[in-house]
Amino acid sequence: MKKEIVVYAKAGLAAIALVVFGCLSFATAAEAQPPALSKDQRTLLQSVLNAVDAATAQPSSTEAPWPLHVMRASDGSHYLAFSIDSFGTAKLPPGPVLLYVRLATARPPDGATMTPERSPISEWLAGQRVDPRMLPGRGIAIGEMPAFGAGAIGVRGSTPSTGSMDLKLMALERERARQDKEDAAKQRRAELEGKETVLRGTVPFEDFDVRSHSFAADGRRIVSRALTAGPGDYDLFVAWADPAARRPVDTIHVSQMAVTLPIVTTDALATSSIIVADRITIRASPYTAAEQASHPYSIGLTEIVPARDAIFTRDDNLAVAFQVINARPSDSGKPDLRITFQIIRMDGERELSFASLNPQSYDHTSMPLDFDLRLGHPLLAAMSVPLATLPRGDYRLKIVATDRRAGTARTADTAFKVIGTPASLLAEAPALGRPFRREAAIEAQALAAVVLALTPDAASPALRRALEAAAGGRFVDLLLEEVVPENERASRVALTGLALYIIGDASAASQFQHALSLGAPPAAVQFLIGAVRASQNRDPDAIAAWELSASSGMAPGVVRPLLIEAYLRRGDADRAAALVPAEFTLRPTAGPWLRAQVAPHLAGGRDRDAIVVLDAHLSRTPDDGEARWLLLQALYGSIVRGAGGNRTRFTTAALAYIAAGGANAALVADWLAALGREGQ
């Protein structure tokens, strides 16, 4: 049974008319006689049919085991398309398979009896009927050709003296055929609209292919098929076997899906399934009718490559295609449609509008002259958008089709997810330089060094009390200034600045500058100025101040860790590494020294060198959580960068890190998932 579907798709600003032939089950009459099956092929096909018969006794899955897309054919029936690359744990073999597809009426849920449906293919194998592939009427519509056959006129001639009776008989046959066609069309329409119940003696659809050998664009083996059906509840069976196996019967796999097709409406605006695609391209020529069944997503010249899933990276484009149904036509048969697209980000229970895309219009200004909704020409809309600007997360594409002539609208949506690539996820690792903490400048060693630098040889009682308050962490007491001798004013002003810094007062920097102008020790005051600038996210100024502090005598153990962190925040791993004391390069230790040693290796892609340093450190301090995180980063980087990384070791370490509740456990889980997808 051949159905002609004329589909129109937007391409830029121009609309292109496309013609698609949906070859639903068998070859067209114009084709040569189908090849006979060998004994082995008949035996295996019968075994597959037996397996499907056995599966009919099992309940259908409530969850779709594979994506199924439903569109509308030109006669009003449902056009079903699907593409499968795996059947549970079973994978399709690289070579051809024997494929069998059946659409059967679903059993009543209440256990009521139903008339058993016969399989024409099974009856053919049993010798009870002719080859179903040779059924007539597949290529020539009733009434289009004389009943005497396509060549009858040429054989019999057309002169009035010898052919008048033939012509009269032919005219009667054509009129009878026309009436039969109209009656059949009315019957078909009544069935589609649910006005009449269909009583079937055979299954609504079945098909087989002894050499099914389809591939996806990425080289994956797939099963891809199309069929049409009227409204109703069905069970769809897809079965295959590998004829090249030593025991082909042991390779039979059957997958089953419950399918409910609604009653067809002819007045309410509707959309078909939203087909999420990897890409949508234009072919040089359409597939033939015989090829169409195994290329269900090729709509005329439009080649839709359905996505394996709705998971994309930021390097991908999101492409969708769908059919708009029952748009109201103008006097010339043109629609007046406006289609809008909105990307919505899902944040838990909240939905946040992320972006609105350019709308599309389908009307007399954009459609071809020969497009006519009144003739059943379906309309296919397609859209593609890059995902480079979308952060990782869950999204929903909301589509609103508005029929401006009818004043009605239809909303549809489809969910999709944006994930990171292995490389982009590596770049999401937290910076090696930690954010500056205000408390870092007053930790015990640093505070003791500052107080010591501000202490004169013979401090007055007032200054001594202020220095003791600072050393004891009683910074609020420093805001109550006692009079000190003139030669101690610089230190006292610096201590007041320290109190202002602690409480987050922006005037602390001015106070420190004033202390310097009075002759305060630069080692301590420049150290504190650096802390102020770092807290203001001004790392270049902080680095300059801390380098002055170091050159003025501030203890390396106090100022260098802060300098290292600042350089790491700036991405200058080499300068950070140069600040590591020589004794630590041979004896790895924790904190900034360790990060400074590892950072140049990680930043330069020398993951193996980083692993050597971290392994040596962890052999001494195995419970160092920060070192374990850095090791994970190095192990993952060695895999992503193609440096021969050990996936097994990374997986083991990653699972242990996640189980221990590591600070970056969520990111590590994403790394594992990304490598898992890459390995599929």
pLDDT band of residue 604 (cuts 50, 70, 90) is confident
CA distances, 611 to each of 52, 447, 618, 674 (Å): 55, 35, 10, 21
642: three-class secondary structure by DSSP: coil
CA distances, 614 to each of 55, 565, 567, 573, 608 (Å): 57, 18, 20, 16, 10
pLDDT at 182 over 90: no
Q: Say what the pLDDT of residue 200 is.
A: 63
Structure tokens at 111: 């256990």
More confident residue, 60 or 664: 664
Which residues, in sequence order, are CB contacts of 538 under 8 Å at separation 6+?
none
Kindly give the residue spans of alpha helices, DSSP state H, lying in 208-311.
289-292
Residues 141/75, Cβ–Cβ less than 8 Å: no
Residues 8/27, Cβ–Cβ less than 8 Å: no
Question: Could you read off the pLDDT of 534-558 as tens digits, one per residue?
Answer: 999 999 999 999 999 999 999 988 9
Distance CA 82, CA 224 (A): 6
pLDDT at 589 over 70: no
pLDDT at 25 over 60: no
pLDDT at 42 over 70: yes
Question: Alpha-carbon dihedral of residues 476, 479, 485, 487, nearest 10 degrees?
Answer: 90
Range in 86-100, 117-131, 158-172, 266-280 with the lowest mean pLDDT: 158-172
Q: Say what the pLDDT of residue 7 is.
A: 40
Amino acid residing at 128:
Q
Question: Could you read off the pLDDT of 510-527 as tens digits, one per residue?
Answer: 999 999 999 999 999 999
Question: Could you read off the pLDDT of 626-643 as tens digits, one per residue?
Answer: 899 999 999 999 999 887
Amino acid residing at 18:
L
Q: Say what the pLDDT of residue 175 is.
A: 58
pLDDT band of residue 132 (cuts 50, 70, 90) is confident
Whole-number mean pLDDT of the chain? Answer: 82
Kindly give the residue spans of alpha helices, DSSP state H, lying in 262-358.
289-292
Distance CA 364, CA 375 (A): 16
pLDDT band of residue 490 (cuts 50, 70, 90) is very high
Rg over alpha carbons for the chain, rounded to the nearest Å, is 38
Structural domains in the chain, CATH included, are 38-109+117-132+141-147+204-263 (2.20.130), 266-419 (2.60.40.2550), 428-439+452-521+565-678 (no CATH)
pLDDT at 28 over 80: no
pLDDT at 61 over 70: no
pLDDT at 195 over 70: no
Distance CA 508, CA 501 (A): 5
Could you tell me what percent of the chain has a pLDDT over 90? 51
For the entire predicted model, the pTM comes to: 0.67
* Other C-beta atoms lying within 10 Å of the C-beta of residue 556: 11
Structure tokens at 203: 């299954």
What does the pLDDT average to over 65-76? Answer: 84
Structure tokens at 640: 């992503």
Question: Could you read off the pLDDT of 562-571 as tens digits, one per residue?
Answer: 998 899 899 8
pLDDT at 192 over 60: no
